[in-house]
Amino acid sequence: MKARGDAGRPATKARGDHGRPTTMDDAVPLAAFLTAEGFDTAEARVAAREVLHAAGLSNPRKSAITAAKLAACRSALREALVRSCGLAACERSLAVRAPRKHLVRVLPASCEHCGGVASRRTGGGVSARCLELGVRRVLVVGGLPAACRELRAALSGVEVDLVEGTAKRDAKRAKAELSRADIVVIWGNTPLDHSVSALYRRPPAGVGLVLVPTRGAASVLAALAVHLEGRAKRR
């Protein structure tokens, strides 16, 4: 039996999935596609187009691309390019993560390192400064779980150890933890028992003490930045 369309009409080759003829409607404007993929500056779109041309997925005369090619375009772009907002910390981190890819400048929200998130943007600078000054381990006492996760993500490259503010601790264990740290952060205005914080308030010589009076990862990053500048001056 001959294949027939939904309405009993003979099916024709020219009709798409939804019964309409296949037309340029199946193509999307190239500039809109690239912007949606995070190539949201003219410079980044030029670089992205060159990648698509080189991969044979488009050519300089075309301003649209068919839907069927989008997946191949995405993977060609991912292979060749990495998007950065231009912040020094983002550039450094992306150059390490993707050394063979060509770096293109985009708006912060499309940056593959910070995504425009304030704490990650500040954090990139703070973690770079930590590494320059030989600060490898930060011990954080207190802090709410979500803020702690944000802090860890922001301080990539630096080891962040956490002591929950309501954890059971004795002086011996606290001393061992302090001896491994370069900086101890006491994070106030978070669930933090005095019996816990008291164990960490007198770190040994060489371990910096940073007291943060307000909650939120951004407060810790700001306090760390100030502490690091003081440390740099003393060197």
Nearer to Zn ion, 112 or 177 (CB): 112
Here the tokens at position 50 are 């060159």
Nearer to Zn ion, 101 or 137 (CB): 101
Under the binding rule (CB under 5 A), the answer on residue 169 touching Zn ion is no
Q: Which of 48, 90, 130, 147 binds Zn ion (CB under 5 A)?
A: 90
Nearer to Zn ion, 52 or 154 (CB): 154
Q: Which helix (DSSP H) or strand (DSSP E) does residue 100 occupy?
A: none
3-state secondary structure 130-185: HHHCCCCEEEEECCCHHHHHHHHHHCCCCEEEEECCCCCCCHHHHHHHHHHCCEEE
Tell the smallest beta-carbon distance from residue 113 to Zn ion (Å).
5
Q: Which of 85, 139, 158, 162 binds Zn ion (CB under 5 A)?
A: 85
Cα torsion 113, 118, 120, 121: sign: positive
Site for Zn ion in 98-157 (CB under 5 A): 111, 113-114
Tell the smallest beta-carbon distance from residue 153 to Zn ion (Å).
13
105/38 Cα distance (integer angstroms): 10
Here the tokens at position 80 are 């060749």
Tell the smallest beta-carbon distance from residue 94 to Zn ion (Å).
8
Nearer to Zn ion, 119 or 197 (CB): 119
Here the tokens at position 48 are 């992205």
Tell the smallest beta-carbon distance from residue 30 to Zn ion (Å).
25
Nearer to Zn ion, 82 or 140 (CB): 82
Q: CB of 153 within 8 A of CB of 126?
A: no
Chain residues binding Zn ion by CB under 5 A are 85, 87, 90, 111, 113-114
